[in-house]
Structure 1
Amino acid sequence: MNTLPWQEQPPRTGGLLVVRVPARPGGYEVARVVWHTAPGTGTDGGPALVALEALLHSVALPGRTVADMLESLGVSVEPGRTHVSCHLEFQGSKDGIRKAVPLFADALAATVLQPDAVRTARASVLGLVERLDSSLPDRAERAFYAAVAGADGLLARHGEGTVESLLGMTPEQVTGAREDLVRSLPVSLFLSDAAAEPAWRAALARTAPATPVVAAGPTLVPAPARQRVDVSVTGPRGAHLLWGCMAELGDVMDHVALEIAAHALGGGWSARWQHLFREELGRVYGTHARIRSLGLDGRAHGAALIGMSTGAADADSAAALLEEEAARFSLHGLTEKEVTDGAGQLLRAEGLFQVSAQKFVARAAQPVQAGLGVSFAARRLECLASATPDEVNLRLRRLEGRAAVSVARSKGGH
């Protein structure tokens, strides 16, 4: 039986998946260590990210934190997370990162998370979430996901958690998340220095489980969508409109059809809605497109998102026009030129991710961290290269997605 990419169990040795990324000349190296977390468990949302931040801020030697020790080797480290993973990314010289590997392994296994470090880390993540919550584009996107996937759905909140969950987070939750990182979560490693692989394997063998642990999480089942959803944000006067369509994906070609549609409608200066809303009518400042797919529990959902910012006074009329244009797209689909140009532009854009080791690693890690499987990236490029207008429009009609327009607006004030 042919399995979907997001149903594949990545080949692991000692619970560790290693992905080698082509290195650029110059000696600058990047390594990303990814822990695959499970929604609905203690590693979901903020605790795992706070635990990683707290680890970096904790004192490993008298007067020196883990981050200080790594920095002394010329290595910078940056934590981050998605809804189904968290990671640490190391950047520095080849020699520096190789020296940092055993230091990092010791710190992860033995460093005690100090209370001050936990408070500092929680404040850092809380500040990030508060900044996102005050962003009109971000609030419009959250409102869309709440409309089509339920207010309590996985995507209706940030991967880092919510302000409420972070304020209520206990030291025990953070400590528990750190224990999961050390002892029970599957780990993936993306690195641009192939010669460093044995050292990384030895370091992570102390933490990666012998058998991958995959905990069940909530299923993303779309709820009935409202035609339009409004949300108010405190801040400078303005508005952000977002049209989105979310659907369950049957294979990678379904993702590619949504991706081409998003790009053709709002992903560049020649995009349909960019030309109409900005160039012809002057209703918005510009459009932007995003495609987001997430694999969970053997299923995957994808969302095509088109956003546009406008003045608060024009928000209602622009939203009404956006609904009309979205209905027109649903009825007639994409033109032949939009499909062929969109697929070609997306393929050519891959070159932008080959200019540095950091971009290479981030691009390789992205689909794996979204739960889409190891082979997703290669299959996506194959589908883009073979996409035809008839195939793309047929896929779009079959997807039976839930669409909505969300409007985030601020009338001014703080």
Structure 2
Amino acid sequence: LAGCPPDRFGMLVSANCTTEDLYIAQKFTREVMHSTNIAVPAHALYGNGLPEVFDILRQSHPLDIINQASTTLCLGLDVHYAQSVVEVRLHQAKARGARIISISPNPQSLNIFVEECLQPIPGKETELIQRLCDLIGNDPSNTCAAPTQLRHAADLLREASSLVILTGPAFLAHPDNHALLPAVDRLARQTSARLIALPEQSNLAGSLLLGVSSPFNPAGQEVDALYLAGEDIPPSLPGRPFLIYQNIYPPIGALTEEPSGARRADLLLPAAAFTEGGGTLVDYSGCIQALNPAVQPPGEALPTWEILSRIARHLGAPGFDYPTLAALQAEIAAIPAFQPQSRVDSSSAPQPLPSSRSPYPPSGDHTYLGFPLSRYVAGLRPLHPPG
């Protein structure tokens, strides 16, 4: 690393990492390596709609507001696994008499107990939301021609005394999200609804607030050294960069037969899980959530921020002497974006990132730290069989 030119170094860091990990990863890249080649691959999943996702996150409320809602509208929400805690809240709301409405192009587990279920043709979600807005506004050009289900849903939303709109991963990461999410925002304003955004990544909001966003993509930009913090080895890399792999999981092929064409890491660094190292994340409502360690890290595993800080000190870089996690958190707390009065400031909105910039193909599975959970959670394998 000491001999690597700034433009020949790159880092990929997961949006599931703690805020401390994300902050140090960015600081290491910029102040130690003097590079801007750092990216959160999950950002590319939101493509041109990343600023709109950020705007929805800025408006998002805590999940507790479902308890007071008379009606809850679920948009692209799969509660079967990833948002299972939300399903419990929805069942509780249904039990006390609240109305549940679902809009999703694919059948969802919650459809069996909702009052109205709209299933638009894939790709037509934006048009459906816009028609709902017109119907709620009593636009006569849309009322007569609207299907009965759509008119019924519009009536339920118009009559709701307290409406909550849950925007799930399928809407947030929709290919048309740059148009779909403004339509959702229009619907929320028209009905005086409160929004809850539920992205798949646990610390997406934290990564955006820290500004860890750039067009860097190692699949299309050759580098000499690539540092992977909580991400898998990209399947396609030009050249042969020195690969530093830091994760709680072994890379694919490290402990089993290596897949054809896959790269092995040159250096493996065992990271501690959030249950072992602690830290914080910024949840979907913009609140900082503390993660308290439950057990000691195994072997020589360390939190990602501590590993990077040790490397920085070894390279002679100042400013990485953190005696405790609390000392690091005090430094992060001084960042303007993490001041309570600044957290809703849209001036820090990220730039759009074309989805083609993602170094990883879509997995179709729920992932954590770069890996599909069905690889490690046996109960998920029947739901997400290989291939």
| TM-score under structure 1 length normalisation | 0.24
| Larger fraction in helix | 1
